[in-house]
Amino acid sequence: MQSNVINRFIRYIKIDTQSNPESTTFPSTKKQFHLGQLLVRELNSLELENVNMDENGYVMATLASNIDYDVPTIGFIAHMDTAPDISGKGVNPQFVENYDGSDIVLHKKNNIILSPKDFPQLKKYIGKTLITTDGTTLLGADDKAGIAEIMEAMEFLVKNPDVKHGTIKIGFTPDEEIGKGADFFDVKKFGADFAYTIDGGELGELEYENFNAAGAKIKVNGRNVHPGTAKNQMINSIQIAMELHAMLPTNQRPEHTEGYEGFFMLMSFKGTVENTNLSYIIRDHCFDKFNQKKKLISSVIDFINNKYGDNTVEIEIQDSYFNMKEKIKPVMHIVDTAKEALIDLEIEPIIKPIRGGTDGSKLSFKGLPTPNIFTGGHNFHGKYEYIPVESIERAVEVILKIIEKYTKKAIQ
């Protein structure tokens, strides 16, 4: 029999909430409202206070304090959308009980195999129960596992009023996967002193550093003439775009970096002889190195324009978010307390920088310090995504332990 939190998780992943980076609306897809509406109903059924979903799709609620002394107001936040890279429609989860460490056939017909040869971390979960995809969609643990874990913790507190706690704020956001999840988040309305996003990876992850991030859109302008008479006349924008890309350091691509190493990533390349468009993301934890990367790609553009003529290449660079570390460090007790909670639960803390973004970054810069805690999932944004049942259940314990520790610290 599946536990309540697993039933929740399955219920949520069945709802397609894929976001769309090309949309001009907010949220970027109306279908995200469908999950928001379900969560509003469930929060109301738990009789939480101030339950609402605003016109931008943000869901918020309050679990009132049941104690008569001051305790910090803690927020827990997760996002409702799934990545635009792969379909989140028709998710058909598969359960692998008592995993034996061998290959897992996700889709027999298409020969889609989840193998420890490709993903060695699978070996950590021998004997556990894994939830996988069927090889045709993502799973949605990023971040519907986080939503399920928060909701389950709130239900536990509601049904166990003898467990003492301060005021808890709940927030579910749209469009995190396209970098807009916190754009219209009303920190003042939310009303927490600090918060945690439940949006990380494997069991034990705790993160308070993330990339500084920017996007670069590049347009290469060519000149098309008949190839038979092209000498000294044709300007092939595809060739120039390839030359431009080759000038960026190959050792600073995602597939060659880890830890604190930043990168340039070519996201899209579409072109003809006449016009080619490239899209890059630029990432680095160090702000100085981040700025150096932006200067480097701009200098490459300058070189190309000097070689082929002014305005052969046009570039637009836009910052996306910044490293939340500088906003977390003055209130490191929120990281230290989460670490203590993990240790109390005999979960090894894995404190490392996020090699990506998080709602917590923008929220921290909006005045709500928000580090990130694991959901338990692996291989997000693709058909090889999976999550151990036991990790989901342990994440619920961590949320409750953090609440408990702040309640007890207030007495001491």
Give the DSSP letter string of 225-281. --GGG-TTT-B-HHHHHHHHHHTS-GGGSGGG--TT--EEEEEEEEE-SSEEEEEEE
Sign of the CA dihedral with 242 first, then 246, 252, and 254 last: positive
The full set of domains in the chain, from first to last, is 4-209+323-411 (3.40.630.10), 212-321 (3.30.70.360)
- Does residue 232 register a pLDDT over 80? yes
Residue 276 forms beta bridges with which residues? 220, 271
How far apart are the C-alpha atoms of 83 and 383, rounded to whole Å? Answer: 12
**Mean pLDDT across 178-205:** 95
CA distance 173 to 193: 18
Length of the chain: 412
- What is the arithmetic mean of pLDDT over 346-351? 97
- The answer to whether 400 and 220 are in contact (CB under 8 A) is no
- Using the predicted structure, report yes or no on whether residue 410 has a pLDDT greater than 70: no
CA distances for 281 relative to 166, 238, 284, 354, angstroms: 41, 20, 10, 16
The end-to-end CA distance of the chain, in Å, is: 41
Question: What is the token pair recorded at 395?
Answer: 């994440």
Contact 67, 406 (CB under 8 A): no
Q: What is the mean pLDDT of residues 269-295?
A: 97
CB 67 within 8 A of CB 75: no
Instruction: Report the pLDDT value the prediction gives residue 411, as an integer from 0 to 100.
Output: 62
Catalytic one among 143, 149, 152, 176? 176
- Check residue 227 and give its pLDDT: 94
Q: Find out whether 337 and 406 touch, Cβ atoms under 8 Å.
A: yes
Report residue 412's pLDDT band, with 50, 70 and 90 as the boundaries: low
Supply the pLDDT for residue 126: 98
Task: Work out the pLDDT band at 356, boundaries 50, 70, 90.
Answer: confident
Flag whether pLDDT at 358 surpasses 80.
no
Give the pLDDT score at 396: 98
Token pair, residue 202, equals 């494997």
Is 176 tagged catalytic?
yes
Q: Are 285 and 353 in contact (CB under 8 A)?
A: yes
Confidence of residue 409 (pLDDT cuts 50, 70, 90): confident
- Are the beta carbons of 40 and 159 closer than 8 angstroms? no
pTM for the model stands at 0.89
* Per-residue pLDDT at 202 exceeds 70: yes
C-beta separation of 18 from 81 below 8 A = yes
Supply 31's token pair.
Answer: 């279908």
Between CA 126 and CA 132 the distance in angstroms is 14
Task: Answer yes or no: is pLDDT of 157 > 90.
Answer: yes
Say if residue 1's pLDDT is above 60: no
Alpha helices in 284-357 (DSSP H): 287-308, 325-328, 333-344
* pLDDT, tens only, 18-31: 999 999 999 999 99
Average pLDDT of the residues of the chain: 96
Q: What percent of the chain has pLDDT over 90?
A: 95
Q: Please tell me the distance from the alpha carbon of residue 137 to that of residue 15, in angstroms, as a whole number.
A: 13
H helices of 106-175, where?
141-159
Of the chain, the percentage scoring pLDDT greater than 70 comes to: 99
Helix axes 287-308, 237-246, angle to 10 degrees: 140
Catalytic residue among 16, 81, 142, 175: 81
Question: According to the model, what pLDDT value does residue 85 have?
Answer: 87
- Catalytic site residue 340? no
Average pLDDT over residues 48-70: 96
Mean pLDDT within 171-193: 95
Measured between alpha carbons, how far is 380 from 364 in angstroms, rounded to an integer? 24
Q: Report, as an integer, the average pLDDT of 232-256.
A: 96
Mean pLDDT across the stretch 291-305? Answer: 98
Q: What is the DSSP code (8-state) at residue 122?
A: G
Res. 75: pLDDT tops 60: yes
Distances (CA, A) of 171 to 70, 78, 324, 339, 363: 22, 7, 19, 22, 12
